Each structure stands twice: as structure tokens, then as C-alpha cells.
Structure 1
Amino acid sequence: MSKQRVIFCDFDGTITVNDNIVAIMKHFQPEGWDTLVNQVISKEITIREGVGRMFALLPTSRRQEVIDYAIGNVTIRSGFRELLDYSKQEDILFLVTSGGIDFFVYPVLSSFAIPKENIYCNASDFSGTHIHIFWPHSCDAECDNDCGMCKTRIIRSYPRETYERIMIGDSVTDFAGAKLADTVFARSHLIELCQELGLNYYPFEDFHDVIKRLEEMKVREL
């Protein structure tokens, strides 16, 4: 009996063309944000610590500005709606596993037919003086990366014995998850990691490339 296919798809820089957290920081320019970004990329600090500290630099008095910019600045990568249609047609479970924040992830994805329970992301609190990020999907006992939104935790909840696990991503937040996937579709920094570790990966520019490769994989299995 063939395994159920499940896609774990990153949001920032994958579903969207740009990285929304970095774009927000570049636009509002809170003092010290660029150092934090570089420390996350170089793994000097964890993703959770870096993202939390970045948003803590932004006052909640600018809440609406931040939300409006985050949503209005998004460009969806070509072929995304078609990939969702293809996944539905082929009975592939499609999950969004995002290191992004609820105040822009949910509104951006609201025009697509993705059940809310299939969207995993970080959460925000604007009740204090500065934006506070909290972590409903943080690392469990099997992961010590301090991911914030722990993609390996989500992936491990779909066991390899039952599911064919497919990951789509681009950056440092996808590194740990890529090691658990059967197949990785990679862009940008994730390509380098896949090459270094010899993972089973395919580069892609847009989601039409992903659909084409999934079709080729299906034909090979017949």
C-alpha cells in the first residue's frame, strides 16, 4: 500500500517572493535589527531568540502600520494556487509550516483554500508597549534547536512509516526539517545545505517547477 504524501511548505521566501520578517525590519529600521538577522543566519543565536528580539524592537503604537506594511508588501510566488489545486487533485496533504507571524501569515493565506488547522506559524501579542512574539509550536524533547516554530516537531507527527514527507523551503528555518524529509524542494540557502549533506533535493524557481517534478515522481512510481 502506497504512503500518503504530505507537503510541508515554508511561507517567507517560499510561498512569498520576499522574506517578510526581514522586509518589515528593513522598512521600519529599529536599531539593532540587522545585527540580529546576521546572528540568526550565522547561528550565533537561535531562530526563536532572534525573531523574538527583532519584533520586541517595534513599539505597539505602530501596530497598524506594521500589519498594513506586512500584508501589502507580499508577492505570492508564481504557481502557488496551481500547486494547491494539484495537491487536492492528487490527494496530497498540504501544510504550511511557517516561521512567520500570525498577523501577516493568516491574512495573506485567507484567499487560498487552506484550512486554518493546516497552517502552523508563530503568534503575536500587541497588548504591551512593544510587540511580543510567542510560540505555540515550539520545540519538544526531541529537538534542541530552539526553532520557535519547530518544523521537525510537525514533520515527526507524520511518521515516515505512513507518510511520504515532502518539504519545500529556502532558508535557515528549514535546515533541520529538510533532514527528515524524503524529498526536498529547495531554493537559496537551503540548496547549499542539501548539497553539503547529500540530501534528496530538487532546486526550484516557482511552484510550476514543483508540480512538474511531482508529476515526474508519480510517473516513476507507476
Structure 2
Amino acid sequence: MDSVGQMNGGNVLRTDDLAQIYCDFDGTVSVQDATDFVLSQLADPEWQEIERLWENGEIGSGECMRRQVSLIRARPGQLDEVLDEIEIDPFFASFANFCAARSLPVTIVSDGVDHFIRRILRRHGLDHLPVVANRLVVSTRTGQPQYFLSSPHAGPTCTTTAGVCKCRWLTAHKQERVYIGDGRSDFCVADKPEFLFAKGELARHCAEREIPFFAYRDFGDVIASLRKAAAHLPEAVEKSQYATV
């Protein structure tokens, strides 16, 4: 599939019009879902049944995450060793540098786990990026580490009962916003930003509902399209195409 820049005819984006860039993390910045990878390596098998409950719509994503994280059976050092196996998009560091050079603030907004995200970013020298995510709490009161999640960024009116209400963060900014995502946790926010990059499940969701988006494969595509998109952000949205990756 063509990159977004090619789909839009190679125009130049006026980056001074952009107020904020938001990125999902699991499957967007990271190559694989960090939480699922940790659970598959370190949690009791019950985590998979909890996942099915969420997939069937029987529980919200916030409850799903809290119950799953409590099943992790590992010392903190073991947890970090597993996290160090997780790779990020090969172009994400270049994307972060591209944005920094143009004074475009980038924030990670994820329904994942803050420690997982920060550990992975730190390994790539990107831990300066702000992270909005569920907060990991580790207790050793029983002699064995126990893991809990708190959700300081949940919203009381969140339609998906997520641990992190992404809509709340995007609607706090009234100027142009860019959002980059890939999966189910991004569905509710898909129609909020002026400039949406989507792949995977998110791209299919947007195509089915005729939500304008730019398809991408990796952050190399995102960099290229931010350089080549139309001069004014609202116009760029109008010219976007419906596509799946």
C-alpha cells in the first residue's frame, strides 16, 4: 500500500498549525503489545480467559487490565528482563526527533501500563516523552511481589470504561491534533483528532464507519506524510482516503 504522503499527492504540511501529537503505544510504538507479551511470559493462564471476557464485551478494558496485571508472578527484575525483549517501530526514534526539531509536542496516551512503556522507551533514549497510562503499583508486604494497577486517568463518563480515557485527553486541546493508533483502544477517539493515522484494527474500524484517516505501515510513513500532506490540517483531513493496512 502507498504511504500516506503518496496518497495525498506530496503536499507540504504546515507543521506550525499543529498543537499536539498523540501516540498510542502497544502495537503502535511497540512492535508487539507489551502487556500481552508480559502476560504470556509471566502471568497465570487465567489472563487469557479475562481477555476473552473483554473481547466479548462482558467487561471494560480497565477492569480487564487490572485483573490481568494482578496475575503476574515474577520479581521486578524478571519483569524488566521480559520488557527488554520488546522492540519498537524502527522509525519511531526518527519520528520523535522529527517532531522535536519542529517543536511539535508528542505525548504517549495508552491504556497500557506506565512502567512497561517507560522501561521500553528508556532503552531507546526516549524516556523524556510524556506518558499517560495506567500506573503500576508493586507491593512486597506478603514477601512476594504483587502487582496492581491504578487508573488516575480514567473518566467517569468514558464509554469504554477504559483505565485511560483517551477522549478526555484529546478533547482538552481545542487546536489541531494528530493521533496515531492501531487497535480497539483507539476506536472511541478515532473521530476526535483533525489528523488521524490508522493501521490494523483501527484502520478497518474507520473504513467501516467512514471516519477519515491516513493509513500507515510504520513511523517512516508518518514522517513522510507529515512532510507531504496538505498545507492546512482541516483540508488534509478532507483529502484523506479510506483504506486498510
Normalising by the smaller structure, the TM-score range is 0.7 to 0.9
1:29 is displaced (CA, Å) by 4.6
1:123 corresponds, among 135, 150, 153, to 135
Query: Where do residues 1-222 of structure 1 align in structure 2 (5 Å cutoff)?
Result: 3-59=17-73, 62-69=75-82, 71-110=83-122, 111-113=124-126, 115=128, 118-127=130-139, 130-141=146-157, 143-159=158-174, 163-219=175-231
Q: Secondary structure at the match of 1:13?
A: coil
TM-score of the pair, normalised by structure 2: 0.80
1:152 is displaced (CA, Å) by 0.9
Counterpart of 1:17, as a letter, is V
Name the one with the larger helix percent.
Answer: 1
1:3 is displaced (CA, Å) by 3.8
Identity %, equivalent residues: 24
Return the alpha-carbon distance in structure 2 between the equivalents of residues 94 and 6 of structure 1.
6
Report which structure shows greater RCO (CA 8 Å, sep ≥6). 2
Deviations 1:81-100 (A, max 9, x none): 11111112233221111222
| Paired residue total | 215
1:31 is displaced (CA, Å) by 2.6
1:115 is displaced (CA, Å) by 3.5
Deviations 1:175-219 (A, max 9, x none): 111121112111211111111221111121110100111112254
Moved over 3 A (4+): 2-5, 111-116, 218-222
Return the alpha-carbon distance in structure 2 between the equivalents of residues 147 and 102 of structure 1.
15
Structure with greater Cα Rg: 2
Return the alpha-carbon distance in structure 1 between the equivalents of residues 126 and 69 of structure 2.
29
For the 8 Å contact 1:140–1:153, the answer to whether it is kept is: no
Return the alpha-carbon distance in structure 2 between the equivalents of residues 56 and 91 of structure 1.
39
Structure 1, unmatched stretches of 5+, are none
Return the alpha-carbon distance in structure 2 between the equivalents of residues 133 and 167 of structure 1.
25
1:220 is displaced (CA, Å) by 6.4
1:44 is displaced (CA, Å) by 2.5
Structure 2, unmatched stretches of 5+, are 1-15, 236-245
For the 8 Å contact 1:41–1:172, the answer to whether it is kept is: no
For the 8 Å contact 1:124–1:132, the answer to whether it is kept is: yes
For the 8 Å contact 1:55–1:132, the answer to whether it is kept is: yes
Counterpart of 2:105, as a letter, is L
